Structure 1
Amino acid sequence: MKKVIDCFSFYNELDLLIYRLNILNDIVDYFIIVESTHTYSGKEKPMFFIENIKLFERFEDKIIHIVVDNFPHKYPNINYELNQQWVNEVYQRECISIGVDRLQLDDDDILLITDLDEIPDPETIYNIKNNKIPSGIYSIKMDLYYYNLNTRCTNKWNDGKLITYKKYKELSISCDKIRHYTDCCFFIEKGGWHLSYFGNESFIKNKIEKAAHQEFNKNEFTDIKIIEKRIKNFEDLYGRNGCEFQKIKITENQYLPPEYDKYLSKFIVLE
């Protein structure tokens, strides 16, 4: 049977990491978790995975933890106007290949290349694992949520990729380029859920301040009261045109993450 390797960057999203490992554990053969000593904005950060390693002991035989301590640009020697924070993000994602190279993989094995908060649907991945598929890159179509399971975007999210190891070798490009590969021949419907900004107001403020999107690191987006208002009103965090969200009741949602009531109950708006 083909192997599934789940590869993603990790910052501090412990709730989602616990969730992801638990719901995918029966399907995934290895988890490649890439964590940096610095944020994309170049500032030193705690090593959240290492500091909370006891939470993940039951998965230790499957986890390949890659530590990135050599970002190209670190504070204060980083220029946001030149978008050097994006160089850091790209570099961290490229380090996924360090973990891949440690494994002995076959051509039909599968790599999932996503960010941590892009949660693949375990049922869909199970079906792919247990059936023959053409070699190639697959764009994973996901439902996009902000803040909680009641705030869903009207558009789909498809940045996450699935790639066969044969295609991975043939292309010989970085994992970041695979993520942004646009010539996908295949699309995976019901691919999962992008659970973006799943945290309280302080968590969201921190993410904005430390992320590669430094153009949003302004008081009009990081002010706690403004964040509270947008969460309450089921609005886009940045007030963008063409990025519409709608309130959806849990009882009316036909496609929810598995075991959400066990692991994600704090991210449900009570009616």
Structure 2
Amino acid sequence: DKFVLVESAMTHSGKPKELLFEKHKASFERYLDRLVHVVLDTLPQSDDHWVRERAQRDAIHEGVTLAGAGDEDLLMVSDVDEIPRRTTVRALSWCEGYRSPMQLRSNFFYYSLRHRWTESGPNWVRPFQWKQPRAALLSQLQYPRLTANHLRYDPGDGNMEEVNFAAWHLSFFGGAERILDKIEAYAHQENNMDDFKDRQHIASALQDGHDLFKRGAVHGELKNNSEPYDLPELILVSARAGAGPHVTWLPDYFDLP
């Protein structure tokens, strides 16, 4: 396996930003021989913030080329807060004969592991499944005709294979300051409003699990998470040891064995 990390010195909103990987490189020492780091000094100048987001995602292909990948290699495309399960990656590596690109659907946590989006019917409740990450053989993309960005936003995703519970989506994590940073940086600049950036409003959303952007049940219903078994192993190990930043993301009532 190879990892391609694409990092830009510009936010999707068009502002300069610090490059972070070099500062934290030592934490990834055991993986460095398998990691291709693509650095973008700038992104396109445009009034359309999504132009910059697309440009950064499509720079994945530069890393794929440097990694020496071939047509029958599988490309998995994810944002940094979309984390595939280890079992998903292992299963995909064993499979052959992929018929179409795949949605690797993820359980959608918001703010912390305390809150999870759910959907429900008359007699059932289940985790809402975010339709990312995506995966496809490079031969199915035929770059540059189709790119990593096409794979993510393909309007024909109804023709994709669906792999449920394949990942975790950890959205708007990191506390109030990181949330403010994200609002001012990401492509959804329609959300960069003073009402949404009010610290009291953010604190209330984090505490009570309200949607930050007042959209109601946009992904179903945001509920307290009470299933500690459905968390990344690293987080559970850290929690049992009582150490690490992951502990502050866990509900107080989790009774971990």
Shift of 1:242: 2.6
Give the alignment partner of residue 182 of structure 1, picking from 155, 167, 170: 155
Distance (whole Å) between structure 1 residues aligned to residue 212 and residue 135 of structure 2: 28
Give the alignment partner of residue 46 of structure 1, picking from 1, 18, 22: 18
Shift of 1:47: 0.5
Distance (whole Å) between structure 1 residues aligned to residue 99 and residue 68 of structure 2: 18
TM-score by length of 2: 0.85
Tell me if structure 2 keeps the 8 A contact 1:148–1:267. Answer: yes
Give the alignment partner of residue 51 of structure 2, picking from 55, 74, 87: 87
Q: Report the more deviating stretch, 179-188 or 56-65.
A: 179-188
Give the alignment partner of residue 247 of structure 1, picking from 209, 224, 239: 224
* Percent of aligned pairs with the same amino acid: 29
Shift of 1:170: 7.3
Structure 1: 4+ residue segments shifted above 3 A: none
Matched, 1:131 2:95: yes
Shift of 1:199: 0.5
The 3-state SS of whatever aligns with 2:136 is strand
Matched, 1:156 2:129: yes
Shift of 1:112: 0.6
Matched, 1:69 2:35: no
The 3-state SS of whatever aligns with 1:220 is helix
Give the alignment partner of residue 74 of structure 2, picking from 110, 117, 127: 110
Equivalent in the alignment of 1:217: 192
The 3-state SS of whatever aligns with 1:72 is coil
Query: Given the superposition, is the C-alpha separation of residues 146 and 191 from structure 1 closer, same or farther in structure 2, using an over 3 Å criterion?
Result: same
The 3-state SS of whatever aligns with 1:215 is helix
Q: Tell me the C-alpha RMSD between the 2 structures.
A: 1.8
The one-character-per-residue Cα deviations of 1:32-77 (angstroms, maximum 9, x if unpaired) are 000001111111111111222222222110110001123112xxxx
Matched, 1:32 2:4: yes
The 3-state SS of whatever aligns with 1:41 is coil
The aligned amino acid for 2:225 is: I
Unaligned runs of 5+ in 1: 1-28
Shift of 1:142: 0.7
Equivalent in the alignment of 1:268: 250
Q: Report the more deviating stretch, 106-115 or 205-214.
A: 106-115
Give the alignment partner of residue 105 of structure 2, picking from 110, 129, 141: 141
Matched, 1:173 2:155: no
TM-score by length of 1: 0.80
Shift of 1:253: 4.4
Equivalent in the alignment of 1:203: 178
Q: Number of paired residues?
A: 233
Query: Given the superposition, is the C-alpha separation of residues 106 and 168 from structure 1 closer, same or farther in structure 2, using an over 3 Å criterion?
Result: same
Unaligned runs of 5+ in 2: 119-127, 239-243
Equivalent in the alignment of 2:121: none
Shift of 1:120: 0.5
